[in-house]
Structure 1
């Protein structure tokens, strides 16, 4: 009989007690095969589960090999599951700096704990990249979302942004349309597989100079929209820096459309990785 590892469950980036994005965390996964990790992720049923498969120390800083699996496949990086894992490690070993070696590159995380034991984590993404979204791919994506090019905010040309995963990033001008657009999950999922978009399709609305509302499309199994997406938040920071908005801190409000309100804080330095901050609370 296969031994079942301890599976922790955390809720990350919650804006209130009803919100956030749940993630599974397995801290002792060194002996698990790929097939077993996929099975566990499918059984847990969250958008991602994180598996710590190795650890070592370098110059006094703990380093962990962390792999992320959705119920359908491995993904290079998952921000909310990384935050959940960092909180779990801080609760076990104490707060401080750790480095995660992920499929998307090395990610540095800083955790702090307040007097009541609540842990907050900031992670610095890998070096981001931004590239133009090919016109034919953009046209296909817009059609699948029931949108037209004229529906996009001209201040934010559509791009693909990377800070651990590639995310096509669209900004809709009209708030009502942002709230109401619909899509069929299967064709969107097929386009995402074709284009190598292992994260989400990021759709934004600029609700203020420093505030963005986000819907992150992630059609995997029962899940169609992600309530809080750390990798997409980092990619959004890269997207905005490419448009000349370095030096700002923004707030991303996500999850309202799936009744799990979430809040992610994103700091956009002039160079280097994008910084995403939030917390996670233990569910079980």
Structure 2
């Protein structure tokens, strides 16, 4: 029976975070993999498979599952996997690995930070496009949001699957959102969206709040969503904000925080996203 680490990912001040299951892969069926999050009370499960040494570092293949099926990528699942790998390596302050999903390989870093672990990774390039008026109106209706509550330019961003980034006028307006999940799922399916990442505009220090709704993949609201935060970082960089700290999970009683930074090199914008994590228990299934 596999040993499963339950990791609270993207904690804020050593508490909260998104519970995520991490375990070594085995000859499971995909149906069995989908059962893990439900059985353990997590939104996602991450399956690790060592693949040897790459660029002088240990390398691992990652697969991500919700109760609805496999995902091509999962940001907070990646942070959870990095925390487990760093813990297995002895909590090295500078543990570095190469990670692979079905579509790409990338760098991941993790290590001990006081009583917890901190991890970050390269989420890859982000594509941005303008939102169609009908698309925006339909998503806003699914969130119970009037268009005059939209605080700026919405866009569709993707670093694997597209999601709508929707600015609302304040943290208070964000907290008041009351989605119709059946309607929102139908709208997202119609427009090919993973979901909607609603956020308050970053303040002058780059701090914002966000809520991620993804009923199409079986996650009505995500406690923490690192890949969408990376997408927001790419969008915000166009307006001169290169460092973000995004609070999530408060509405669900599990405060979480994700950080993202953007810098430019000869290949364009490079993003790094991550957060704090703690392995809170181990379960034998």
TM-score by length of 1: 0.88
Of 44, 64, 68, the residue aligned with 2:64 is 68
- Cα displacement string for residues 128-159 of structure 1 (whole angstroms, at most 9, x for unaligned residues): 111112222111111111222221113xx110
Matched, 1:59 2:67: no
What number of residue pairs does the alignment pair up? 274
Matched, 1:251 2:234: no
Change (3 A) 1:194 1:54: farther
Report 1:175-186 matches (<5 A).
175-186=171-182
CA RMSD after TM alignment: 2.1
Q: Residue 108 of structure 1 corresponds to which residue in structure 2?
A: 107
Q: Distance in 2 between matches of 1:63 and 1:239?
A: 30
**Secondary structure at the counterpart of residue 81 of structure 1:** helix
Q: CA deviation at 1:18?
A: 4.3
Q: Residue 202 of structure 1 corresponds to which residue in structure 2?
A: 197
Q: Runs of 4+ in structure 1 displaced over 4 angstroms?
A: 220-223
Q: Distance in 2 between matches of 1:32 and 1:63?
A: 21
- Cα displacement string for residues 187-207 of structure 1 (whole angstroms, at most 9, x for unaligned residues): 212322333333x41000125
Unaligned runs of 5+ in 1: none
Q: CA deviation at 1:9?
A: 0.5
Q: Residue 187 of structure 2 corresponds to which residue in structure 1?
A: 191
Q: Residue 87 of structure 2 corresponds to which residue in structure 1?
A: 91
Change (3 A) 1:85 1:186: same
- Cα displacement string for residues 221-260 of structure 1 (whole angstroms, at most 9, x for unaligned residues): 985321111111111111212x3325x2111011111111
Q: CA deviation at 1:42?
A: 2.9
Report 1:1-284 matches (<5 A).
4-26=1-23, 28-94=24-90, 95=92, 96-103=95-102, 105-114=104-113, 118-154=116-152, 157-198=153-194, 200-206=195-201, 208-209=203-204, 210-219=206-215, 223-241=219-237, 243-245=238-240, 248-270=242-264, 271-284=268-281
**Preserved contact between residue 104 and residue 165 of structure 1 (Cα < 8 Å):** no
- Cα displacement string for residues 53-81 of structure 1 (whole angstroms, at most 9, x for unaligned residues): 34221131222110101111111111111
**Secondary structure at the counterpart of residue 203 of structure 1:** strand
Q: Distance in 2 between matches of 1:216 and 1:72?
A: 17
Unaligned runs of 5+ in 2: none
